[in-house]
A and B are shown apart, each in its own frame.
Chain A
Amino acid sequence: MISALLNIGLAHFLILSLILFLTGLFGVLISRNMLRTVMSLFIMSVSTVINFVAFGYYCDSTMENANMISVFILILTVIQTIIALVILYKIYQANESLDAEKIKDKES
Protein backbone atom coordinates (compact mmCIF):
# COMPACT_ATOMS: atom_id res chain seq x y z
CA MET A 1 0.00 0.00 0.00
CA ILE A 2 2.74 2.46 1.04
CA SER A 3 4.95 1.43 -1.88
CA ALA A 4 2.02 2.11 -4.24
CA LEU A 5 1.79 5.62 -2.78
CA LEU A 6 5.52 6.22 -3.03
CA ASN A 7 6.07 4.92 -6.58
CA ILE A 8 4.35 7.52 -8.72
CA GLY A 9 2.98 6.04 -11.91
CA LEU A 10 0.18 6.22 -14.42
CA ALA A 11 -2.40 5.10 -11.86
CA HIS A 12 -1.81 8.23 -9.74
CA PHE A 13 -2.56 10.54 -12.65
CA LEU A 14 -5.60 8.50 -13.67
CA ILE A 15 -6.94 8.73 -10.11
CA LEU A 16 -6.32 12.50 -10.11
CA SER A 17 -8.09 12.84 -13.43
CA LEU A 18 -11.00 10.69 -12.19
CA ILE A 19 -11.38 12.80 -9.04
CA LEU A 20 -11.31 16.02 -11.09
CA PHE A 21 -13.83 14.67 -13.59
CA LEU A 22 -16.21 13.61 -10.83
CA THR A 23 -15.76 16.96 -9.03
CA GLY A 24 -16.62 18.79 -12.25
CA LEU A 25 -19.64 16.59 -12.83
CA PHE A 26 -20.78 17.16 -9.25
CA GLY A 27 -20.40 20.92 -9.78
CA VAL A 28 -22.49 20.78 -12.97
CA LEU A 29 -25.22 18.86 -11.16
CA ILE A 30 -25.49 20.92 -7.97
CA SER A 31 -24.71 24.55 -8.84
CA ARG A 32 -27.61 26.85 -9.62
CA ASN A 33 -25.42 29.64 -10.99
CA MET A 34 -24.75 29.03 -14.68
CA LEU A 35 -21.29 30.64 -14.54
CA ARG A 36 -20.20 28.03 -12.00
CA THR A 37 -21.63 25.32 -14.26
CA VAL A 38 -19.44 26.55 -17.15
CA MET A 39 -16.39 26.57 -14.85
CA SER A 40 -17.21 22.99 -13.76
CA LEU A 41 -17.35 21.92 -17.42
CA PHE A 42 -13.91 23.47 -17.89
CA ILE A 43 -12.60 21.40 -14.94
CA MET A 44 -13.98 18.24 -16.58
CA SER A 45 -12.20 19.08 -19.84
CA VAL A 46 -8.87 19.72 -18.08
CA SER A 47 -9.20 16.33 -16.34
CA THR A 48 -9.39 14.65 -19.77
CA VAL A 49 -6.28 16.56 -20.90
CA ILE A 50 -4.37 15.34 -17.80
CA ASN A 51 -5.47 11.80 -18.72
CA PHE A 52 -4.12 12.13 -22.27
CA VAL A 53 -0.82 13.67 -21.16
CA ALA A 54 -0.30 10.96 -18.52
CA PHE A 55 -0.94 8.17 -21.03
CA GLY A 56 1.41 9.91 -23.47
CA TYR A 57 4.16 10.18 -20.83
CA TYR A 58 3.94 6.56 -19.64
CA CYS A 59 2.99 4.72 -22.86
CA ASP A 60 4.42 6.80 -25.71
CA SER A 61 8.10 7.76 -25.57
CA THR A 62 7.85 10.59 -28.09
CA MET A 63 4.64 12.10 -26.61
CA GLU A 64 3.79 13.61 -30.00
CA ASN A 65 0.31 12.10 -30.27
CA ALA A 66 -0.69 12.92 -26.71
CA ASN A 67 0.50 16.52 -26.97
CA MET A 68 -1.27 17.03 -30.29
CA ILE A 69 -4.58 15.65 -29.02
CA SER A 70 -4.26 17.61 -25.78
CA VAL A 71 -3.68 20.90 -27.62
CA PHE A 72 -6.77 20.25 -29.74
CA ILE A 73 -8.87 19.47 -26.64
CA LEU A 74 -7.57 22.58 -24.88
CA ILE A 75 -8.34 24.87 -27.82
CA LEU A 76 -11.83 23.40 -28.20
CA THR A 77 -12.44 23.73 -24.46
CA VAL A 78 -11.46 27.39 -24.42
CA ILE A 79 -13.62 28.13 -27.48
CA GLN A 80 -16.55 26.28 -25.93
CA THR A 81 -16.13 28.16 -22.63
CA ILE A 82 -15.93 31.55 -24.32
CA ILE A 83 -19.04 30.84 -26.43
CA ALA A 84 -20.86 29.69 -23.27
CA LEU A 85 -19.81 32.89 -21.48
CA VAL A 86 -21.09 35.04 -24.33
CA ILE A 87 -24.42 33.20 -24.25
CA LEU A 88 -24.54 33.66 -20.46
CA TYR A 89 -24.00 37.39 -20.88
CA LYS A 90 -26.90 37.55 -23.31
CA ILE A 91 -29.05 35.56 -20.86
CA TYR A 92 -28.06 37.97 -18.09
CA GLN A 93 -29.03 40.97 -20.23
CA ALA A 94 -32.44 39.42 -20.89
CA ASN A 95 -33.22 38.14 -17.39
CA GLU A 96 -31.01 40.19 -15.01
CA SER A 97 -29.95 36.91 -13.35
CA LEU A 98 -27.74 33.88 -13.90
CA ASP A 99 -29.67 31.64 -11.51
CA ALA A 100 -31.08 28.74 -13.55
CA GLU A 101 -34.04 28.21 -11.17
CA LYS A 102 -35.02 31.90 -11.20
CA ILE A 103 -34.88 32.09 -15.00
CA LYS A 104 -36.99 28.91 -15.22
CA ASP A 105 -39.59 30.36 -12.83
CA LYS A 106 -39.63 33.65 -14.74
CA GLU A 107 -40.22 31.88 -18.05
CA SER A 108 -43.00 29.68 -16.64
Chain B
Amino acid sequence: MVTNLIYFYFLFFAVIICALGVIFAPMMYISAIALFLFICFSALIYLYLNSVYLSVFQFILCGLFLSVYIFLLIKKIGRANLSLSLAPTSKIIISSTFVLLLGLLFVLYFTQEFDSSLYSFFNSVVEKSFGSVNFKHYLYPLSLIGVFVFVSAAVLRVFIDNSLAAEQQKENEEKQS
Protein backbone atom coordinates (compact mmCIF):
# COMPACT_ATOMS: atom_id res chain seq x y z
CA MET B 1 0.00 0.00 0.00
CA VAL B 2 2.68 2.49 1.11
CA THR B 3 5.07 1.38 -1.61
CA ASN B 4 2.30 1.83 -4.16
CA LEU B 5 1.62 5.33 -2.87
CA ILE B 6 5.29 6.31 -2.94
CA TYR B 7 5.66 4.84 -6.42
CA PHE B 8 2.66 6.84 -7.69
CA TYR B 9 3.80 10.16 -6.22
CA PHE B 10 7.36 9.56 -7.46
CA LEU B 11 6.00 9.08 -11.00
CA PHE B 12 3.61 12.03 -10.60
CA PHE B 13 6.36 14.49 -9.71
CA ALA B 14 8.96 12.96 -12.04
CA VAL B 15 6.68 13.40 -15.06
CA ILE B 16 5.86 17.02 -14.12
CA ILE B 17 9.53 17.88 -13.47
CA CYS B 18 10.57 16.34 -16.82
CA ALA B 19 7.82 18.29 -18.63
CA LEU B 20 9.03 21.50 -16.98
CA GLY B 21 12.60 20.50 -17.88
CA VAL B 22 11.68 20.26 -21.57
CA ILE B 23 10.46 23.86 -21.53
CA PHE B 24 12.90 25.53 -19.15
CA ALA B 25 16.14 23.57 -19.75
CA PRO B 26 19.08 25.98 -20.24
CA MET B 27 20.56 24.00 -23.15
CA MET B 28 18.88 22.23 -26.02
CA TYR B 29 20.47 18.82 -25.36
CA ILE B 30 19.22 18.91 -21.74
CA SER B 31 15.75 19.58 -23.12
CA ALA B 32 16.01 16.51 -25.38
CA ILE B 33 17.21 14.35 -22.45
CA ALA B 34 14.27 15.66 -20.36
CA LEU B 35 11.91 14.64 -23.16
CA PHE B 36 13.39 11.13 -23.21
CA LEU B 37 12.94 10.85 -19.41
CA PHE B 38 9.40 12.22 -19.75
CA ILE B 39 8.59 9.46 -22.26
CA CYS B 40 10.07 6.79 -19.93
CA PHE B 41 8.19 8.02 -16.84
CA SER B 42 4.89 8.37 -18.70
CA ALA B 43 5.37 4.79 -19.97
CA LEU B 44 5.76 3.74 -16.31
CA ILE B 45 2.47 5.53 -15.52
CA TYR B 46 0.74 3.40 -18.20
CA LEU B 47 2.35 0.37 -16.59
CA TYR B 48 0.93 1.49 -13.22
CA LEU B 49 -2.51 1.57 -14.89
CA ASN B 50 -2.10 -2.02 -16.20
CA SER B 51 -1.55 -0.94 -19.81
CA VAL B 52 1.51 -3.07 -20.46
CA TYR B 53 1.09 -3.11 -24.23
CA LEU B 54 0.73 0.68 -24.45
CA SER B 55 3.69 1.19 -22.15
CA VAL B 56 6.01 -0.97 -24.27
CA PHE B 57 4.59 0.60 -27.42
CA GLN B 58 5.33 4.13 -26.18
CA PHE B 59 8.80 3.18 -24.97
CA ILE B 60 9.76 1.66 -28.33
CA LEU B 61 8.04 4.16 -30.62
CA CYS B 62 8.78 7.36 -28.73
CA GLY B 63 11.71 6.48 -26.49
CA LEU B 64 13.80 4.53 -28.96
CA PHE B 65 12.79 6.15 -32.26
CA LEU B 66 11.45 9.67 -31.71
CA SER B 67 14.00 10.69 -29.06
CA VAL B 68 16.87 9.34 -31.15
CA TYR B 69 15.49 11.20 -34.15
CA ILE B 70 15.38 14.46 -32.15
CA PHE B 71 18.94 13.88 -30.87
CA LEU B 72 20.17 13.28 -34.42
CA LEU B 73 18.38 16.37 -35.68
CA ILE B 74 19.90 18.54 -32.94
CA LYS B 75 23.34 17.11 -33.75
CA LYS B 76 22.86 17.61 -37.48
CA ILE B 77 21.89 21.26 -37.17
CA GLY B 78 24.62 21.79 -34.55
CA ARG B 79 22.28 23.30 -31.99
CA ALA B 80 23.01 21.00 -29.01
CA ASN B 81 24.43 23.86 -26.95
CA LEU B 82 21.83 26.41 -27.98
CA SER B 83 20.84 28.40 -24.88
CA LEU B 84 17.29 28.91 -23.70
CA SER B 85 15.42 31.76 -25.36
CA LEU B 86 11.98 32.65 -24.10
CA ALA B 87 9.40 35.13 -25.32
CA PRO B 88 9.35 38.70 -23.92
CA THR B 89 8.25 39.11 -20.29
CA SER B 90 4.91 40.67 -21.22
CA LYS B 91 4.07 37.67 -23.39
CA ILE B 92 5.09 35.27 -20.59
CA ILE B 93 2.81 37.12 -18.12
CA ILE B 94 -0.14 37.09 -20.57
CA SER B 95 0.46 33.41 -21.36
CA SER B 96 0.67 32.39 -17.70
CA THR B 97 -2.56 34.29 -16.96
CA PHE B 98 -4.23 32.55 -19.89
CA VAL B 99 -3.00 29.13 -18.77
CA LEU B 100 -4.09 29.75 -15.15
CA LEU B 101 -7.53 30.88 -16.32
CA LEU B 102 -7.86 27.77 -18.47
CA GLY B 103 -6.85 25.57 -15.52
CA LEU B 104 -9.36 27.32 -13.29
CA LEU B 105 -12.02 26.80 -15.94
CA PHE B 106 -11.28 23.07 -16.11
CA VAL B 107 -11.45 22.70 -12.33
CA LEU B 108 -14.64 24.78 -12.14
CA TYR B 109 -16.20 22.71 -14.90
CA PHE B 110 -15.50 19.41 -13.18
CA THR B 111 -16.54 20.52 -9.69
CA GLN B 112 -19.70 22.23 -10.95
CA GLU B 113 -20.68 19.58 -13.46
CA PHE B 114 -19.89 16.40 -11.59
CA ASP B 115 -20.47 17.57 -8.03
CA SER B 116 -16.85 17.01 -6.90
CA SER B 117 -17.06 13.34 -7.78
CA LEU B 118 -15.25 12.59 -11.01
CA TYR B 119 -16.50 9.03 -11.01
CA SER B 120 -19.97 10.29 -11.86
CA PHE B 121 -18.61 11.40 -15.24
CA PHE B 122 -19.18 7.88 -16.52
CA ASN B 123 -22.73 7.94 -15.17
CA SER B 124 -23.31 11.13 -17.13
CA VAL B 125 -22.20 9.35 -20.32
CA VAL B 126 -24.58 6.48 -19.59
CA GLU B 127 -27.35 9.00 -18.91
CA LYS B 128 -26.70 10.61 -22.31
CA SER B 129 -26.89 7.25 -24.09
CA PHE B 130 -30.39 6.72 -22.66
CA GLY B 131 -31.48 10.11 -23.95
CA SER B 132 -32.52 11.64 -20.65
CA VAL B 133 -30.11 14.53 -20.29
CA ASN B 134 -31.14 17.60 -18.37
CA PHE B 135 -29.69 20.40 -20.52
CA LYS B 136 -30.54 23.06 -17.95
CA HIS B 137 -27.88 21.52 -15.74
CA TYR B 138 -25.22 22.09 -18.43
CA LEU B 139 -25.90 25.79 -18.99
CA TYR B 140 -23.56 27.19 -16.34
CA PRO B 141 -20.28 25.58 -17.55
CA LEU B 142 -21.24 26.17 -21.18
CA SER B 143 -21.87 29.85 -20.49
CA LEU B 144 -18.44 30.07 -18.83
CA ILE B 145 -16.80 28.54 -21.90
CA GLY B 146 -18.74 30.94 -24.14
CA VAL B 147 -17.59 33.96 -22.13
CA PHE B 148 -14.00 32.72 -22.18
CA VAL B 149 -14.07 32.21 -25.96
CA PHE B 150 -15.50 35.71 -26.55
CA VAL B 151 -12.97 37.36 -24.23
CA SER B 152 -10.03 35.57 -25.88
CA ALA B 153 -11.41 36.43 -29.34
CA ALA B 154 -11.69 40.11 -28.34
CA VAL B 155 -8.11 40.14 -26.99
CA LEU B 156 -6.80 38.46 -30.16
CA ARG B 157 -8.71 40.97 -32.28
CA VAL B 158 -7.04 43.87 -30.44
CA PHE B 159 -3.60 42.30 -30.95
CA ILE B 160 -4.22 41.70 -34.68
CA ASP B 161 -5.62 45.21 -35.20
CA ASN B 162 -2.63 46.77 -33.47
CA SER B 163 -0.12 44.77 -35.50
CA LEU B 164 -1.97 45.60 -38.76
CA ALA B 165 -2.04 49.30 -37.88
CA ALA B 166 1.69 49.21 -37.09
CA GLU B 167 2.43 47.49 -40.42
CA GLN B 168 0.36 50.02 -42.37
CA GLN B 169 2.11 52.90 -40.61
CA LYS B 170 5.46 51.37 -41.49
CA GLU B 171 4.46 51.02 -45.14
CA ASN B 172 3.22 54.62 -45.27
CA GLU B 173 6.47 55.89 -43.77
CA GLU B 174 8.46 53.90 -46.34
CA LYS B 175 6.35 55.31 -49.17
CA GLN B 176 6.79 58.87 -47.90
CA SER B 177 10.56 58.48 -47.54
Give the residues in chain A near B61, CB-CB below 8 Å.
Answer: 74-75, 78
Q: Which residue from A16, A30, A53 sits with its C-beta under 8 Å from B54?
A: A53
The answer for the CA separation of A23 and B65 in the assembled complex, in Å, is 24
Cβ of A19 to closest chain B Cβ, rounded Å: 6
The answer for the CA separation of A39 and B18 in the assembled complex, in Å, is 12
Please state if A53 and B66 are interface contacts (CB–CB under 8 Å): no
Cβ of B164 to closest chain A Cβ, rounded Å: 13
Residue of A with least CB distance to B110: A14
The segment from B77-85, B135-143, B144-152 found at the interface with A is B77-85
Decide yes or no whether A103 CB sits under 8 A from chain B.
no
How many A residues are at the interface, by size bracket? Answer: 35 or more
The answer for the CA separation of A22 and B23 in the assembled complex, in Å, is 12
The answer for the CA separation of A56 and B73 in the assembled complex, in Å, is 36
How many B residues are at the interface, by size bracket? Answer: 35 or more
Q: Which residue from B8, B45, B118 sits with its C-beta under 8 Å from A11?
A: B118
Please state if A26 and B49 are interface contacts (CB–CB under 8 Å): no
Please state if A43 and B22 are interface contacts (CB–CB under 8 Å): yes
The answer for the CA separation of A20 and B51 in the assembled complex, in Å, is 19
Please state if B95 and A35 are interface contacts (CB–CB under 8 Å): no
Decide yes or no whether B28 CB sits under 8 A from chain A.
yes
Contact indicator per residue, chain A 61-93, by CB within 8 Å of chain B (1) or not (0): 001001100110011001001100100110010
Please state if B69 and A85 are interface contacts (CB–CB under 8 Å): yes
Please state if A85 and B57 are interface contacts (CB–CB under 8 Å): no
The A/B interface has a contact count, at CB < 8 Å, of 148
Give the residues in chain B near A10, CB-CB below 8 Å.
Answer: 118-119
Give the residues in chain A near B86, CB-CB below 8 Å.
Answer: 30-32
Please state if B77 and A29 are interface contacts (CB–CB under 8 Å): no
Cβ of B56 to closest chain A Cβ, rounded Å: 11
Residue of B with least CB distance to A14: B118
Please state if A70 and B51 are interface contacts (CB–CB under 8 Å): yes
Give the residues in chain B near A9, CB-CB below 8 Å.
Answer: 118-119
Give the residues in chain A near B53, CB-CB below 8 Å.
Answer: 67, 71
Please state if A29 and B87 are interface contacts (CB–CB under 8 Å): yes
Please state if A16 and B49 are interface contacts (CB–CB under 8 Å): no
Give the residues in chain B near A71, CB-CB below 8 Å.
Answer: 53-54, 57
A85-B106 contact given A29-B99, A32-B85, A36-B22, CB 8 Å threshold: no
Can you list 8 pairs linking A and B with CB atoms under 8 Å apart? A16-B15, A20-B16, A23-B23, A25-B102, A32-B87, A46-B42, A56-B49, A89-B73
Residues of A at the B interface (CB closer than 8 Å) are 6, 8-14, 16, 18-20, 22-27, 29-33, 35-36, 39-40, 42-43, 46, 49-50, 53-59, 63, 66-67, 70-71, 74-75, 78, 81-82, 85, 88-89, 92, 98-99
